[in-house]
Structure 1
Amino acid sequence: MSAIVKPAKRHQRDEVFAIQRQLSLALLILIVLTAAVEFGIFQSQALVYTKSLTAGLVLSYLAHWAFAIFAYRQTRIAAAKAIMLNVYLGQMIKWLLTLLGFALIFMLVRPIMASAVIIGYLLMQLITALMLSRLTS
Structure 2
Amino acid sequence: MTQPAKRTKKDKIGSGLKQQSWILLAIVLLAALIDYIWYDAHWVIAKSAALGACLSYLSQAIFAGFVFWHTGYRARRHIVRQMYRGQMVKWLLTVFGFALIFITIQPLSAPALFIGFMVMQISHSWMLWRIG
Give the TM-score band, short-chain normalised: over 0.9
Deviation string, structure 1 residues 15-66 (Cα, Å, up to 9, x no partner): 1111001101110111012212221x21522111111111110000000011
Give the TM-score taking structure 2 as reference length.
0.94
TM-superposition CA deviations, 1:72-130 (whole Å, max 9, x none) = 10112110000100111100000010011000000001100111111111111001100
Aligned partner (choices 98, 104, 123) of residue 102 of structure 1 = 98
After TM superposition, the structure 1 = structure 2 runs for residues 5-44 of structure 1, keeping only pairs within 5 Å, are 7-39=4-36, 41-44=37-40
TM superposition score normalised by structure 1: 0.90
Displacement of 1:8 in angstroms is 3.0
Gap runs ≥5 in structure 1:
none
Q: State whether residues 62 and 90 of structure 2, in contact with CA within 8 Å, keep that contact through their aligned partners in structure 1.
A: yes
Alpha-carbon RMSD: 1.4
Amino acid across the alignment from 2:51: A
Rg (Cα) greater in structure: 1
How many residues are aligned here? 132
Aligned mates of 1:10, 1:47 — CA distance in 2: 45
Q: Quote the Cα distance in structure 2 between the aligned partners of 1:129 and 1:69.
A: 17
Paired letter, 1:117: L
Where structure 2 has 5 or more consecutive residues not aligned to the other structure, the ranges are none
Q: Secondary structure at the match of 1:79?
A: helix
For 1:77 and 1:68, the matched residues in 2 are separated by 18
Give the share of equivalent positions with the same residue, in percent: 39
